Amino acid sequence: MAQTVKDFISDSYQLVSASSPTVPLQGDDMSKGLQFLNELISYYSATELMLTIAKENVYTLQIGQPSVTYGSEDYTPTPDVTIGRLANLQNQWLVLDGVTYPMINESRNTFFASYKYQPQQGLPRYVIVRNDTNLTTVEIYPRPSQEYEFHVFGKFEMPPLIITGNMSGYPTYYIRYLRFALAKDLAYYKGRTEAWTEKLEGALEAAKDEMMAVSSVNLNIEADHESYLNGSWRVKAGI
């Protein structure tokens, strides 16, 4: 059975507490622990290595659709995909009638400095990622001329935890690291910086190394696309 959020926060306090483990938390200790825990989870979404393992999402692109948005379901306006902000995109491709079409993740600066025409419809070849605070927009170019399955493989921001929830959405190696990371923050909050010892710091770094060692297989397909942006590839391919 997954550990409850309350028990997880209590365990982190115990790592830096001068009291007996049987002494209950007081005042706003629990609410502050939850606040710092969610701040850590949100903070870690800024880098691919500090989130849980990547996963695949499939979305149906409609004819002429210019972009796909990823975020939480409570965001306004509601994103196209409500499984959390896409924090790190590792690979992307289209599927139509069982045929897979790899796509190229191009930087915004390179793309907008290269293409000269208004968005046209055809076989989408590029994605251009725009990361906002609570939303990620993946622009599609060219716009689809028919419906495609749009597959993305990446890491999505985890939703905030609630005090009545549990840690079931987190793998064991991540929980081990997060427990020490939260305890380090709580040590500063409680004015007990001396409680954070070199031994605890060593345990935190070891857990961090184990967590960062869990990486996804590189599925990116590298291709020569030097002339793709100016449209010559469409002529060569007969599209």
Q: For the chain, which residues make up each domain, given as ranges? A: 5-49+158-212, 54-155
Give pLDDT, residue 216: 54
Q: 214 vs 217, which has greater pLDDT?
A: 214
Helix boundaries (H) for 160-197: 172-189
Q: What would the two tokens of residue 155 be?
A: 């890491």
- What is the distance, to the nearest Å, from the Cα of residue 9 to the centroid of all Cα atoms in its chain? 23
Question: Which of the four pLDDT bands, split at 50, 70 and 90, describes residue 164?
Answer: very high
Sign of CA dihedral 222, 130, 93, 104: negative
**Rounded to 5 degrees, what are φ and ψ at 121?**
-105, 145
- Give the number of C-alpha atoms closer than 13 A to the C-alpha of residue 199, restricted to the C-beta side: 4
Q: What is the pLDDT of residues 8-42, one digit of tens each?
A: 999 999 998 866 555 667 788 999 999 999 999 88
DSSP, collapsed to helix, strand or coil, labels residue 81 as: strand
Sign of CA dihedral 63, 64, 67, 72: negative
What's the whole-model pTM score?
0.74
Hey, how many other C-beta atoms are within 10 angstroms of the C-beta on 92? Answer: 23
The pairing of strands 99-102 and 86-96 is antiparallel
Residue 239: pLDDT above 60?
Answer: no
Residue 221: pLDDT above 50?
Answer: no
Q: What percentage of the chain reaches a pLDDT higher than 90?
A: 46
Residue 166: pLDDT above 70?
Answer: yes
Q: What is the pLDDT of residues 48-75, one digit of tens each?
A: 556 667 889 999 999 999 999 999 888 8
Give pLDDT, residue 22: 56
- Give the number of C-alpha atoms closer than 13 A to the C-alpha of residue 146, restricted to the C-beta side: 5
Give pLDDT, residue 115: 67
Give pLDDT, residue 43: 82
Cα separation, 156 vs 84, in Å, equals 6
The pairing of strands 67-71 and 135-141 is antiparallel
Question: Which of the four pLDDT bands, split at 50, 70 and 90, describes residue 111?
Answer: confident
